[in-house]
Amino acid sequence: MRKIIALSAVAAFATMSFASGPAASSDDLRAELEQLKREIAELKKAQEKINIKAIKRQISALKAKTGGDNLKWNVDFRTAYDVIGYKYADDTSDWNGIFTNRLWLGMAYAPTSNLVFKGLLSYYKAYGQVVAPKQGFNYFDWIVNETPNPAGELRVKEAYWLYLGDDFLGTGIPWTASIGRRPATDGLLVNYREDQDPKSPIGHIINTEFDGASFKFKLEDAVNVPGMYFKLCMGRGMTNANVRYAAITQNPDGTISVSNFRGSEYTKIPGWKSTDLFGFIFVPYDDGQYSVHTTAFKAWDLPGLVTKAMNVYDMDGNPQTRADQMYQPTKFAFEQTGDMYGAAISFLAEGIGDGISDFLDDTNAFVSFAWSKTEPNGKPNTVDVNIINAQTNQPLAQMSMPSKIGMLGSQDDESGTSVYLGVNWPCQLIEDARVGLEFNHGSKYWRSFTYGEDTLAGSKLATRGNAYEFWFNKRLIGKKLTAQLRYTYMDYDYTGSNAFFGDGGTPIDIDSQMAKAMGAVEKAQDLRLYIRYRY
C-alpha cells in the first residue's frame, strides 16, 4: 500500500510540473508541492484507518459460508389445476379437480473445466390435506412444517457427477462418465409438451427415476457422421437388502414382534434379487435438424402383484368350469415375476425443409416405434380357489391350484408394440406460443417404463389402446413466466396399462364381462392448466 501511495505521489508531481510549463514561477511550484504534501498526508491517515486484519476475517468468513465454492441454484415452480375424468366399463364415471404445486430446486457446480456436479430437489403435492392421512397426524398438512416428523419430505430427484473427457484411451474420441441418481424423466419427445430441454432417455419407452451410471462416446468426428454417439446406460430399480432392525416390526394393534435376535442387518431378502437394467442409446445421425435416435435394454427380476387367492362365482350354481363364471381375486403378494426386453427408434425433424417458410422452419415433427417383450420366470405358485354360488353367495367347493407366476397375467413370453406421433408449431394467432398434437397407440401386451410420466390421469405412453393429446404453451414474460393448456384423452382397449408386472398388468378386453364386473377404466382424460416460473 505504501509503495502505491509513493508512486502515485511521484506521478502526480511529474504531471503537475509538466502541466505548469516553463513559464511557471517558483512560487507556483512551491504552492503545488505543498498541496501535494497535504494530499499525501491525508492518504496516509486514510490508510491507517483501514483494518486489514478485519477485512481478511470477513473474507475468510465469506469463504466458509460458501465452502470456497460457487454452487449455482435455479428455480422451477409450477402451479397447476387438473380436471380428471374416468369412465368405467360398467358405464359409471368419476370426476375431480385438483390443484398442485411443484417446486424444483436445481443446483450445479463445476470445480474444474471437465468435472460437473448437478442435483435437483423436488417438492410436489396437492393443495391441502388428503382425506385419510396414512402417515399419522404428524404429517397433517396444516401443521406438517411446524411439527417434528420421524422422516423429512425433502426428496432428491437428481444427484450425479459428470466427467467430460477429451480422449478415450488414446482413440481421440470425446467421452463422458456419470454416476448417481440419473436425469431419467421428461426425455426426448416428451420434452416438447413439457416445454424444456430433453433429458437422457427416449421418453417413449423410459420415463422413470432411477439410480445408476452412464458412459457416452461422441463418434461424429471419428466416423465423419454428424451427431453420432453411443451411450451405455445401467441402473438399479430395487436393491435386495433388508433395512436396519428388519427383525423388529410393529403390529396393527401397536405391539412389537421380533422375528430373530441375530442382530444382522442389510442382509438379503429370501426369494428376492436386485432389479437391474442395462441398455444403450445410439444416435446414428443428427445434423441439428434431422436426427435418428435408438435405444435397447434388458431389465431383470421385475416385481408385480401375484394372485394368491380368488373367488369364482358360478352363475348357475354349478361348481364345474363354465364360460359364465366371474373371477374376483381377493389376495395378492408382491413378488418378482421375470425379465423384460425393450427397444425404440425415433425419427425427428426440428424444422421441415430448408427455407420453404418461416413457419415450417420452426415446426417440429416426430414418429417413434417401440417394442417390449416379457419373459416370465416360471416360479411355482399356489392359488386358493373358492367356488361360490353367485345367486346365494354360498360356497360350493374349495381347492388349491398350482400355477406359475406370469408377467402381464401370462405364463408365456409376450411381445407388445407402441407407436408415438407428434407435431408442434409456432402459433399463428398468438405471439410467443406453440401448439402441439400427439397420438399414441399401444397393443395388448405393450409395457413401457413410463411410471414417472407427469399426467395425473395415468401414463398416456403406457396406453393399451389409443391416446390423443393437445397442448398449448405460451410465454408470458419470456422463459421466466410461462403457461400451458393441455388436454390428454386415453381410450383403453385392454386393462393393466398403468400397472406393474404380474397379474396386475393382465390385459383384459375392456368390452368383456369380466372388465365390466371389475369396473375397469375404459376411458381417462386430464385437462391441465398451469402457470410456471423459472429462473
Query: Minimum mean pLDDT among 17-26, 94-103, 430-439: which range?
Result: 17-26
pLDDT at 19: 47
Confidence of residue 304 (pLDDT cuts 50, 70, 90): very high
Residue 208 lies in a domain: yes
Q: How far apart are CA 37 and CA 161, in angstroms?
A: 59
Domain boundary among 222, 252, 273: 273
Instruction: Flag whether 223 is in a domain.
Output: yes
- Does the structure show a pLDDT above 50 at 20? no
Q: What is the pLDDT of residue 387?
A: 85
Q: Per residue, what are the HEC states of 146-204?
A: HCCCCCCCCEEEEEEEEEEECCCCCCCCCEEEEEEECCCCCEECHHHHHCCCCEEEECC
pLDDT above 90 as % of the chain:
62
Same domain, 304 and 265: no
Whether residue 306 is found in the same domain as residue 429: yes
pLDDT tens column, 509-534: 999 988 888 889 999 999 999 999 99
Residues 314 and 459 in one domain: yes
Let me know whether 268 and 146 are in one domain: no
Tell me: do 36 and 111 sit in the same domain: no
Residues 96 and 133 in one domain: yes
* Same structural domain, 46 and 133: no
Is residue 56 domain-resident? Answer: no
**Distance, CA of 528 to CA of 81 (rounded, Å):** 6
Q: pTM of this prediction?
A: 0.83
Q: What mean pLDDT is predicted for residues 245-267?
A: 86
What integer best gives the mean pLDDT of the chain?
A: 88
Residue 97 lies in a domain: yes
Give me the pLDDT at residue 404, please.
82
The pLDDT of residue 18 = 45
Indicate the number of domains in the chain. 3
Q: What percent of the chain has pLDDT over 70?
A: 88
Greater confidence, 250 or 203?
203
pLDDT tens digit string along 411-470? 999 999 999 999 999 999 999 999 999 999 999 999 999 999 999 999 999 999 999 999
Is residue 112's pLDDT more than 60?
Answer: yes
130 shares its domain with 14 = no
3-state secondary structure of 71: coil
pLDDT, residue 315, reads 65
**Residue 246, SS3 per DSSP:** coil
Q: Does residue 55 fall inside a structural domain?
A: no
pLDDT at residue number 9: 46
| Domain identity same for 372 and 230 | yes
Same domain, yes or no: 215 and 331: yes
Residue in 279, 298, 280 with CA at minimum distance from that of residue 219: 280
Q: Is residue 432 part of a domain?
A: yes
What's the pLDDT score for residue 70? 76
pLDDT at 7: 44
pLDDT computed for residue 319 by the predictor: 59
Please check the confidence at residue 10 and state whether its pLDDT lies above 80: no
Q: Is 26 exposed, middle or buried (0-12, 13-18, 19+ CB in 10 A)?
A: exposed
Same domain (yes/no): 22, 66:
no
Task: Assign residue 482 the CATH number of its domain.
Answer: 2.40.160.10
Per-residue model confidence as pLDDT tens digits over 375-400: 999 888 889 988 888 778 888 888 88
Determine the pLDDT at residue 4: 46
Residues 285 and 202 in one domain: yes
Domain extent for 245: 240-273
Residue 469 lies in a domain: yes
Highest-pLDDT range among 321-330, 353-362, 475-484:
475-484
**What does the DSSP 8-state code read for residue 252?**
T
- The confidence score (pLDDT) of residue 130 equals 81
To which H or E segment does residue 363 belong?
none
Which of the residue ranges 3-7, 206-210, 234-238, 246-250 would you say has the lowest mean pLDDT? 3-7
Average pLDDT over residues 59-87: 81
Where does 436-494 have alpha helices with state H?
none
